[in-house]
């Protein structure tokens, strides 16, 4: 511990001498590697004594630009994939099929769009920031298209069963239609008369 009386010993917490002039506040300089802490040592953010140099900014995600067609396609792809998935779960298979295909088309279009570059003639570094939204739209759209086309295809293949159930007037008549389709399809669709 220093008492502040020894001028060779530096204590940053000791009060200044009584006859010292007032000085404006300055941040304390960190100690250099050789143990000295004068202004000659290298400090982070200093460059040749020119003053404080700001650090380069961190990379930021792309800003929402409604006029950018690639961003619009990526956003529409993600929303279309989600809407198609909701439609297929709700049983609106034709709408789900159409919207799922739109999600795939928009997602592929967004992923194929050129990435924004920072300067003219300079190739952009890093992945395309639109890829996650576009890929989500493509994957959910593709899953929805597979499920919706399977439901529609099975409905067309077993059309006799669907027509028989729809035209039957009684529950017994609807139960007799089960001979027109395999049991797993009858269990999956149900006879529509609960």
Total-model pTM: 0.56
**pLDDT tens-digit profile of 119-141?**
455 555 566 778 888 999 999 99
**pLDDT tens-digit profile of 10-19?**
787 888 888 8
180-186: long-range contacts, CB 8 A cutoff, minimum separation 24? 185/154, 185/158, 185/161, 186/161
Res. 96: pLDDT tops 90 = yes
DSSP letter string over 20-45?
Answer: PPP----PPPPP-TTS--STTS--TT
The dihedral through the CA atoms of 122, 126, 127, 128 has a sign that is: negative
- Quick one: angle between helices 69-90 and 131-157, nearest 10? 30
Q: What is the pLDDT of residue 51?
A: 60
**pLDDT tens-digit profile of 107-119?**
999 888 876 655 4
Res. 72: pLDDT tops 70 = yes
Confidence band of 95 (pLDDT split at 50, 70, 90): very high
Pick 32 or 137 by higher pLDDT.
137
- The residue extents of the domains of the chain are 69-112+130-152, 158-194
């Amino acid at each position: 511990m220093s008492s502040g009386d020894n001028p060779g010993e530096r204590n940053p917490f000791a009060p200044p001498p009584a006859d010292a002039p007032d000085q404006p506040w300055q941040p304390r300089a960190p100690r250099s590697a050789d143990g000295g802490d004068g202004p000659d040592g290298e400090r982070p953010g200093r460059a040749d004594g020119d003053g404080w140099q700001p650090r380069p900014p961190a990379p930021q995600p792309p800003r929402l630009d409604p006029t950018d067609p690639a961003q619009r396609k990526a956003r529409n792809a993600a929303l279309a994939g989600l809407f198609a998935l909701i439609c297929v779960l709700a049983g609106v298979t034709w709408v789900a099929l159409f919207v799922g295909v739109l999600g795939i088309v928009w997602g592929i279009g967004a992923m194929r769009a050129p990435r924004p570059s920072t300067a003219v003639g300079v190739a952009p570094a890093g992945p395309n920031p639109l890829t996650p939204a576009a890929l989500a739209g493509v994957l959910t759209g593709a899953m929805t298209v597979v499920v919706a086309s399977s439901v529609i295809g099975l409905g067309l293949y077993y059309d006799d069963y669907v027509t028989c159930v729809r035209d039957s007037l009684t529950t017994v008549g609807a139960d007799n239609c089960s001979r027109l389709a395999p049991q797993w399809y009858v269990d999956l669709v149900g006879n529509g008369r609960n």
